[in-house]
Amino acid sequence: MAASPTRGIEHIGITVPDIAAATSFFVNALDAELIYDMFDLSPFPDIKGDPTEGVDFAAILGVKPGTRMKAFRMLRLRNGPNLEIFEFSSSSQQPTPRPEDFGFQHVGILVDDIQSVASRIEAAGGKKLMGPVPMLLHEAGEGNFFWYFRTPWGLTLELLVVRSPQDYEKRTSVKRWKPV
């Protein structure tokens, strides 16, 4: 089999209504670490004024004309993809999609202690849904659980704890990627 040019997910981009509040949530609930800020929030002294002035975000990102990117921030989420969070200003913004809507649905985060992280999510303003739930069917295994949450702005998060081999592993040599 030829080597793939695809190496993996480097980051997940998330639009939030308040970048400071979202950062606080990710830091307090999931131990995210700030890597850098851009635009309004930039601590870099060489950036003056609005560096996005004249940037055609409609052409670059596919947003509606007139949309302004107020800021974006890159966070490190331990042993997985980085989180790139954006705050936009637009007269046509929509609420966060629900899992049944087309497109991006949720972020799944592998944890060691699901109850502890669940408590941190709730303390940071997130909402617990029913859980933890034992993993089902192909994902089943002793001590394997999942639990869904909503961030304060409505994004769906899933916590996963995988303590034993999952049922699908008996039938295929291709395994799900897991951070080390």
Question: 59 and 38 in one domain?
Answer: yes
Please report, as a single letter, which amino acid is at residue 63.
Answer: V
Question: 109 and 85 in one domain?
Answer: no
Q: What pLDDT does residue 53 have? A: 65
Tell me if the pTM is above 0.85: no
Question: 2 and 49 in one domain?
Answer: yes
Structure tokens belonging to residue 8 = 């993996």
Whether residue 46 has pLDDT greater than 50: no
Q: Is residue 125 part of a domain?
A: yes
Rg of the chain, C-alpha, whole Å = 19
| Domain end call among 91, 122, 150 | 91
Tell me which of 165 and 5 has the higher pLDDT: 165
Q: What is the largest CA-CA distance in the chain?
A: 58
**What total of structural domains would you count in the chain?**
2
Question: 61 and 120 in one domain?
Answer: no
Strands 145-150 and 133-134: antiparallel
Structure tokens belonging to residue 73 = 């921030």
Q: Is residue 97 part of a domain?
A: no
Under DSSP, the state recorded for 108 is E
**Which of 77-86, 128-137, 152-161, 171-180 is least confident?**
171-180
| Domain end call among 56, 91, 126 | 91
φ and ψ at 134, to 5 degrees?
-60, 140
Element (H, E) at 21: helix 19-30
- pLDDT-derived band at 54 (thresholds 50, 70, 90) equals low
Q: What pLDDT does residue 69 have? A: 81
Tell me which of 56 and 15 has the higher pLDDT: 15
Q: In what order do the strands lie in the sheet with 82-89?
A: 11-15, 82-89, 68-76, 33-39
Domain span at 148? 104-180
Q: What pLDDT does residue 24 have? A: 95
Contact 177, 130 (CB under 8 A): no
Structure tokens belonging to residue 41 = 């929030």
As a whole number of angstroms, the distance between CA 42 and CA 7 comes to: 30
Question: 139 and 114 in one domain?
Answer: yes
As a whole number of angstroms, the distance between CA 2 and CA 13 comes to: 30
| Spacing of C-alpha 107 from chain mean position | 5
φ and ψ at 68, to 5 degrees?
-115, 130
Question: 118 and 71 in one domain?
Answer: no
Contact 142, 130 (CB under 8 A): no
pLDDT tens digits, one per residue of 130-152 = 989 998 999 989 999 999 999 99
pLDDT tens digits, one per residue of 60-96 = 777 788 788 888 899 998 888 889 998 888 888 888 8
Q: Is residue 96 part of a domain?
A: no
Q: Chain-wide mean pLDDT for the chain?
A: 84
